Amino acid sequence: MMELVLKAVPIRRGLPSDRQSYITSVFYGDIARLLDDNRLYVPNRPDLPDLAQRKPNPTRIKEIAQYILETYKDGTTFFPPICVNVQPSPTYRDGSIFLPYHDVTLRLTDGQHRCFGIRKALQDIETQQSENLRDLFQLEIGVLIYAGLSLDEERQAFRDQNLLVQRPSVSLSHYFDKRSPQVVIAKELLQRVPQFRNNVETIENSLGSHNPKLLTLSTLVIATKYMFPNLKSKKDLELKIDWATTFWAAAASTLNDDPWQIKTKAERCQQRQETLLVSAVIFQSLGMLAHNLYQEDVPGEDLIKWLRNLQNLDWRRQNKFWLERGLVQVGTTGEPIISNTKITVNICYKILQEFVGVAPVSGLM
């Protein structure tokens, strides 16, 4: 009888003796083979009575495959274990579990997108870099094996595994990221631009009235992505960092009353109510404007000259100019509000283009 033998460590997940699980690992190649053989079963079809999974997301599968291909060579592919419900319960002896290959059911309770992403990565590398296929085949992913869960228990496992997970904030995710070149640039700006130093929120996604910071790291990363769209390589990154640093310092120097300096909580709260200059929309649209100037090869020493007309704008929220241009709207309390949307960013960007005097670049939004 053909068996699937896996080195494993038994773990207890409850006081009853039958609540037994195992920790093991499986090769990427075996993940793909088990999926193709329907031995690794994903109960994600809502028309079946054994539904215990969500529908797969093709976009997420593609993103995971790309993540694998970008990270596996230097060993920085970080995956949590997948979770599998084995029916019937496996036999455990001498440090291994033994599964009858043609009779066992491996029901995936968590990690379907990782598994489908692994299979797609193998398919992609077979067509693009077949010489690396064997290396990718031999990589492993951790597996938590549940022994003989009922359908109700399996559904509960799926619910608990997904409901109890908390994603990090976008800002914190960027703060810990060392791969994306735009994120690397944005984090360098935190130290190099005087107005950003100790003045950017790197943990939370938003700035409440209690937070005196100027902007969030997530906003600065978005602005940097607008500044350098489609940037994939870290080649000549230092030159881009220097230019971006000069741009933001130049923009800050052209604004009246130094609005981006460090302030107290009360001062910042009051400032957010009075001026647009500290809104996320402004930083994003400035990033788009920076892209125009970078494409025009404007040297850093000329940026102040190009941006000086920004000081001629009346940035007060109460200024009817912004209402007439559609950048702000009157809220239910009668106060002008600005929504952080692609529409408002694009409106602001076009206004900045008009005042600075640069031609629009298509395809940014």
* pLDDT tens digits along 73-96: 999 999 999 999 998 888 899 999
Chain mean pLDDT for the chain: 91
Nearest to 37 by CA among 110, 102, 84: 102
CB atoms within 10 A of CB 344: 20
Q: Mean of the pLDDT values across residues 139-153? A: 94
DSSP designation for 275 = B
d(CA 254, CA 195): 13
Of the two residues 341 and 14, the one the predictor is more confident about is: 341
pLDDT greater than 90 at residue 8: yes
What is the H or E stretch that residue 349 is in? helix 342-356
Alpha-carbon span 184 to 175, nearest angstrom: 9
At 50 the pLDDT is: 94
Is there a contact between 148 and 21 (Cβ–Cβ < 8 Å)? no
pLDDT of 363? 41
pLDDT at position 361, please?
46
- Encoded tokens for 203: 């943990």
State the amino acid at position 295 in one-letter form. Q
Q: What is the pTM of this model?
A: 0.84
Q: Sheet holding 40-41: strands in order across?
A: 9-12, 20-27, 140-147, 82-87, 105-110, 40-41
* Mean pLDDT confidence for 13-28: 87
Assess whether the previous peptide bond of 88 is cis (omega < 30° from 0). yes
Nearest Cα neighbor of 161 from 53, 264, 236 is 53
Instruction: Dig out the tokens for 214 from the structure.
Output: 């100027």
Query: Residue 332's pLDDT band (boundaries 50, 70, 90)?
Result: confident
Alpha-carbon gap, residue 83 to 107, rounded angstroms: 9
Residue 68 pLDDT greater than 60, yes or no: yes
pLDDT at 16: 77
Q: What is the distance, to the nearest Å, from the Cα of residue 182 to the centroid of all Cα atoms in its chain?
A: 12
- Comparing CA positions, the residue from 34, 174, 177 lying closest to residue 111 is 34
103: phi then psi, degrees, rounded to nearest 5: -115, -15
Are 142 and 80 spatial neighbours (Cβ–Cβ below 8 Å)? Answer: yes
Per-residue pLDDT reduced to its tens digit, 272-325:
999 999 999 999 999 999 999 999 999 999 999 999 989 889 999 889 999 999
In this prediction, residue 265 has a pLDDT band, given cuts at 50, 70 and 90, of very high
Q: What does the pLDDT average to over 158-180?
A: 91
Other CB atoms within a 10 A radius of the CB of residue 250 amount to 21
Q: Indicate the range of 13-22, 164-173, 178-187, 216-225 predicted with least confidence.
A: 13-22
Question: Is the pLDDT assigned to residue 181 strictly greater than 60?
Answer: yes
**Would the pLDDT of 362 be above 60?**
no
Computed from CA positions of residues 294, 297, 303, 306, in that sequence, does the dihedral angle turn out positive or negative? negative
In angstroms, the CA 260 to CA 192 distance is 14
Asked if 317 contacts 327 with a C-beta cutoff of 8 angstroms, the reply is no
Question: What's the average model confidence in pLDDT over 143-152?
Answer: 94
| 153 contacts: CB under 8 Å, gap ≥ 6 | 146
What pLDDT sits at residue 360?
53
* Banded pLDDT at 262 (limits 50, 70, 90): very high
pLDDT grade, residue 136 (50/70/90)? very high
- pLDDT on residue 110: 95
